[in-house]
Amino acid sequence: MNKKHLSVALSSLLVLPLLAQAGPANFATAEGADQEVVIVYKNEEGKEAALQQTTEVRHEFETVPAVSAAVSPTELRDLVNNPDIAYVERNISFGITDADVEGYSSTPKPNTAEKSRWNFQEVAPDTMWNQGFTGQGVKVAVIDSGISAHPELKIAGGVSTVGPDMTSNFADDNGHGTHVAGIIAADTGSAQVTGVAPNVSLYGIKSLGANGKGSLQDVLEGLDWAIQNKMDIINLSLGSEDDSQALHDMVDKAYEQGIIVVASAGNSGTVNNVNTDTVNYPAKYASVISVAAVDENRQHAVFSSAGPKVDFSAPGVSIVSTYPSNLPNSNGNPSYAGMDGTSQAAPHIAGELALLKEKNPSASASTLRTLLKSYAVDLGTPGRDNLYGEGFVTFKSKQDLAAPGEVNGAAVTQAKVDSLTLGWNAPADSDFKEVRVYGGTDTSFTTVTQNVYTASNLTADTDYQFRLTTVDTAGNESAGVKVNGRTLAASNNAGSPVVTPPVVTPTPTQTAPDVVNLPVVPTPAPSGGSAQIPSGGGGGGGGGFGGGGGGGAAPAPAAPAPAAPAPAAPAVVVPAKPAVTPTTPVAVTPAPTVPAPTVSEPVPTTVVLPFPDIKPTFWGRETIIWGFERGLVKGYADGQFKPGSTVTESEFLAMLIRAFEPQVKNAVSGTWSNTYYVRAKQLNLPLKGYASKTARAQKLTRVQVAELLSSANGVERTGSDAIRYVLSSGIASGSSKTQKTVASFKGSGTLTRAEALQFIKNLTEKGGGSLK
């Protein structure tokens, strides 16, 4: 059996301070052939030098400030000595090592049946499948020798970076990439092999040719494509004994954007060097999960690299998986092959992470690493060690202890003299089951499965506090969030929508403050939308309206509730104990109430902007007032607008459609943004999140916004053409005060909430007047 592991032969770094000591003559002479290099620049001047002072530019990267190019020795010397250039690396080729490793396992070989199934039995992904998690909606990229069409593989897309131009032909003419892909995602009705996460969205990135060789440029281009296309997980079953700063920068960028990068530790181990650090790059980088190999008895595979940078261990011996049917192999079956190596171990971990990502869609890359550790079985020396890292990751006999995410956008949506109505969005967790509503410090609760509740039989003009927790199918309960509200005074018995954001804070571990204990009675949601689902995340995937990454969730920019609710079915009130009148009022800032409007002609009112973080001198204040008056936006749960927070696709789409079609409202069940995406699909707007919660929560780039704006105005443009259109039409302006250019627009950058609202306001004023 053959072991196939990518062994990269990358060059040493050419860092400016070191070159200054050595002198440029040691790096290049005035004569000689052109060289392929990767140039990383510091600023626009450096970028101009990299683009202009080179023989031929091969590729300009989006994720990191770099280009790959062919340079003459003189050009190379000039670039190395340019203070605007960070560093230059030679574009050395690398390839797959093909070595016979049969018998490297330290335990007896499995029989034929065990060879095809032992890894599945040990990892036990069916434990997660039985809970409903198969990787659905998680985007996994395999950067390798490509992926060929196979009956057991559903390939969502991909790209080839091999050669001078990027193409869509990512077919595998080596076999290694298809084998790795099958370990992650094989799905079958004939039970030949089964991937760990068979329902992931699988992407093949071909960065190695038929001979198993590629270049640093090819790998960087593959990573760049994966990052720009918002992958959730990247598998790199490749490595090098040499460091590369450009490679390091790229995987760090992926991690910063919430993408999990998994890499094989390397196949540099022998019986004589198990105590030596032999982990390869990029597995050695802190932002990458490094995976070592074990055999069917969970013993360290002798060929597997070891060292302090090993994070986890997974099956890597006698692994049968998918293989291109047109390539020869020694397995006797043209569509399957057996291989050994850490190249086979890494995709097991990538598949397990995909299952955890689906279960915890809002979890950051750091949180998912921690969750993965909770499923690791300690092997070898107690605690983390150089052979197994944190241990062998398996779902076998592992109890689900992870609590679901919290409700989003919890708020008091209507206050009356004797009742308070609450509403929220459910978390995105697939195993979410119900919400428990606690009153004050009560340990008793009311269990409900809807997203709106009414607490009845309350005392007039009194502060109340609720705690809302979530529960999953395994019975895990979240810490909960608190919601404060105040009933109306007895003189105002008509009821009034609450128009200012309530205080909603995570529940601390200590006992909650002493407040009124009250019964909570579930009621049907009022008709007519008067108790709309409050703004907040969860609908767009990635843990809330502000996107994934574990940060604070930005609420949906929801329109305020209508002035008077339409008639609704009477609430079913469950008899409850009388409310206790507190002797000392709870120190909760009451929410101001608004008298119910009469049927007569409305009285004009002056809207007071309720956001304390929008100062009178803020550049976008008038625009935010404009959006708030029209119901396009609403503040966060803490009462702030946070104009500098980046905007997500679902958030921008909601503001855009509300600006032109205010009759389109939040969905009242399921994902809050569904109605906006249904309308967007009718308009053929260029969006990624039609069927993907993860895509809905991704941060929009400025060029994507330009494409959306031009399409919404009835003009189909992409990339730089879209930017030119919005600049020329006055819908947008560049970052430069003196000129409007594609460069000044900074298309690769993200957009803030305030900027997004300004773009939409411009479109209403300078566009065609309606969505096209």
Kindly report the CA angle at 450 between 448 and 454, in degrees rounded to 5? 70
CB 539 within 8 A of CB 545: yes
> Which of 395, 449, 387, 408 is CA-nearest to residue 650?
408
User: Environment class of residue 117 by beta-carbon count within 10 Å: exposed (0-12), middle (13-18) or buried (19+)?
Assistant: middle
Q: Is 208 left (phi over 0), alpha (psi -120 to 50) or beta?
A: beta
What is the distance between the alpha carbons of residues 263 and 216, in angstroms, rounded to a whole number? Answer: 16
Among the options 176, 179, 300, 348, which is catalytic? 176
**Contact criterion met (CB below 8 Å) for 153 and 181:** yes
Cβ atoms of 549 and 361 within 8 Å: the answer is: no
SS (H, E, C) 209-275: CCCCEEEHHHHHHHHHHHHHCCCCEEEECEEECCCCHHHHHHHHHHHHCCCEEEEECCCCCCCCCCC
Residue 106: active-site member: no
Contact indicator for 563, 595 with CB cutoff of 8 Å:
no
Question: Which two tokens mark 588?
Answer: 């909760």
Cis status, amide bond into 502, omega within 30 of 0 = no
Strands (E), 366-451: 376-377, 392-393, 408-415, 420-425, 432-439, 445-448
Q: Are 544 and 576 in contact (CB under 8 A)?
A: no
Alpha-carbon distance of 214 to 207, in angstroms, equals 6
Contact status, residue 293 vs residue 315, Cβ threshold 8 Å? yes
The tokens 């074990």 sit on which residue? 294
> What are 437's strand-pairing partners?
446, 468
Q: How far is CA 107 from CA 102, 103, 146, 307, 360, in A?
A: 12, 9, 33, 22, 37
Marked catalytic residue, from 144, 431, 442, 463 = 144
Contacts of 302 (CB under 8 A, 6+ apart): 104, 105, 106, 269, 270, 271, 274
For 343, the 3-state DSSP assignment is helix
| Overall residue count recorded for the chain in this entry | 772
Asked if 144 is an active-site residue, the reply is yes
Q: Write phi, then psi, for 59 (nearest 5 degrees).
A: -160, 140
For residues 279 and 309, give the distance between their C-alpha atoms in angstroms, rounded to a whole number.
Answer: 7
Question: Which among 514, 481, 485 is positioned nearest to 502, based on CA atoms?
Answer: 485
Tokens of 324: 């291109």
Beta carbons within 10 angstroms of residue 684's beta carbon: 10
Q: Using an 8 Å Cβ cutoff, are 410 and 506 in contact?
A: no
Catalytic position from the list 343, 362, 496, 692: 343
Q: Are 688 and 230 in contact (CB under 8 A)?
A: yes
Q: Which residue bears the tokens 């509740």?
A: 453
| Alpha-carbon gap, residue 181 to 587, rounded angstroms | 58
Pairing state of beta strands 201-206 and 155-160?
parallel
Radius of gyration of the chain (CA): 29
Instruction: Return the closest-CA partner of residue 759 out of 686, 709, 712, 687.
Output: 709
CA-closest candidate to residue 160, choices 669, 605, 148, 700? 148
DSSP H helical segments within 409-554, as ranges? Answer: none
Copy the structure tokens of residue 744: 């000044």
Give one DSSP letter per residue of 180-196, joined into a string: HHHHHH---SS-S---S
Q: Return the residue matching tokens 């050669």.
A: 163
Residues forming the active site:
144, 176, 343
